[in-house]
């Protein structure tokens, strides 16, 4: 399992103002946004570029910072930005699509964060009402 992959960033977060952000998609990928505005919500995968260093990539145990009373956990049981592959995931609301720019609400990425992928949020497939999670996850922010 010593394989590596080549990942192409498709865009970048260019602005964050409060809850709203702008994601600029590279021109060569704009055609992939066709009819995306038919969806109210999207799943965005992004590169946690500020955590792309040897120390953060070596983190395997954390205490979730924004969840009061959370116990120490293995990093794969958390949404910690420090992890072997610094990939972030966020479900966001699409407010507007303007050519190659997505104006969104609820993105927890920083300005400059490279975008890996954008997928539509499909309630039938992406919502699992009977899913279980530890009690500590009920406190703190949604992501």
* Spatial distance between the Cα atoms of 34 and 100, rounded to a whole number of angstroms: 10
- Dump pLDDT digits (tens) for 105-138: 999 999 999 999 999 999 999 999 999 999 888 8
Whether 130 and 110 have beta carbons less than 8 Å apart is answered as: no
Widest distance between CA atoms in the chain: 45
Q: Is residue 108 one of the residues assigned to a domain?
A: yes
**The predicted structure's pLDDT at residue 28:** 98
Q: Is residue 6 one of the residues assigned to a domain?
A: no
**The predicted structure's pLDDT at residue 65:** 85
Q: Is residue 5 one of the residues assigned to a domain?
A: no
Q: Is residue 2 one of the residues assigned to a domain?
A: no
pLDDT tens per residue across all 143 residues of the chain: 678 889 999 999 999 999 999 999 999 999 999 999 999 999 999 999 999 999 999 999 999 888 888 999 999 999 999 999 999 999 999 999 999 999 999 999 999 999 999 999 999 999 999 999 998 888 877 66
Q: Is residue 1 one of the residues assigned to a domain?
A: no
**The predicted structure's pLDDT at residue 18:** 94
User: Residue 62: which domain range?
Assistant: 11-122+130-138
Q: Is residue 67 one of the residues assigned to a domain?
A: yes
Q: Is residue 100 one of the residues assigned to a domain?
A: yes
CATH at residue 97: 2.40.30.70
* Spatial distance between the Cα atoms of 9 and 118, rounded to a whole number of angstroms: 11
**The predicted structure's pLDDT at residue 1:** 67
**The predicted structure's pLDDT at residue 143:** 63
Q: Per residue in 42-72, is it b (16+ CB within 10 Å) or e — as a string?
A: bbbbbbbbebeeeebeebeebebeebeebee
Q: Is residue 39 one of the residues assigned to a domain?
A: yes
* C-alpha 75, offset from chain centre: 16
Q: How many domains does the chain have?
A: 1
**The predicted structure's pLDDT at residue 85:** 95
What is the reported pTM?
A: 0.91
């Amino acid at each position: 399992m010593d394989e590596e992959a080549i990942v192409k960033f498709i865009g970048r977060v260019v602005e964050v103002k409060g809850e709203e952000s702008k994601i600029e998609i590279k021109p060569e990928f704009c055609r992939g946004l066709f009819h995306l505005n038919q969806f109210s919500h999207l799943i965005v995968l992004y590169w946690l570029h500020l955590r792309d260093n040897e120390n953060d990539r070596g983190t395997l145990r954390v205490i979730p910072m924004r969840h009061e009373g959370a116990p120490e956990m293995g990093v794969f049981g958390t949404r910690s930005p420090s992890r072997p592959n610094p990939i972030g995931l966020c479900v966001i609301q699409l407010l507007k699509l303007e050519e190659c720019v997505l104006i969104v609400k609820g993105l927890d990425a920083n300005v400059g964060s490279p975008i890996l992928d954008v997928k539509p949020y499909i309630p039938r497939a992406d919502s699992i009402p009977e899913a279980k999670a530890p009690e500590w996850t009920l406190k703190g922010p949604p992501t």
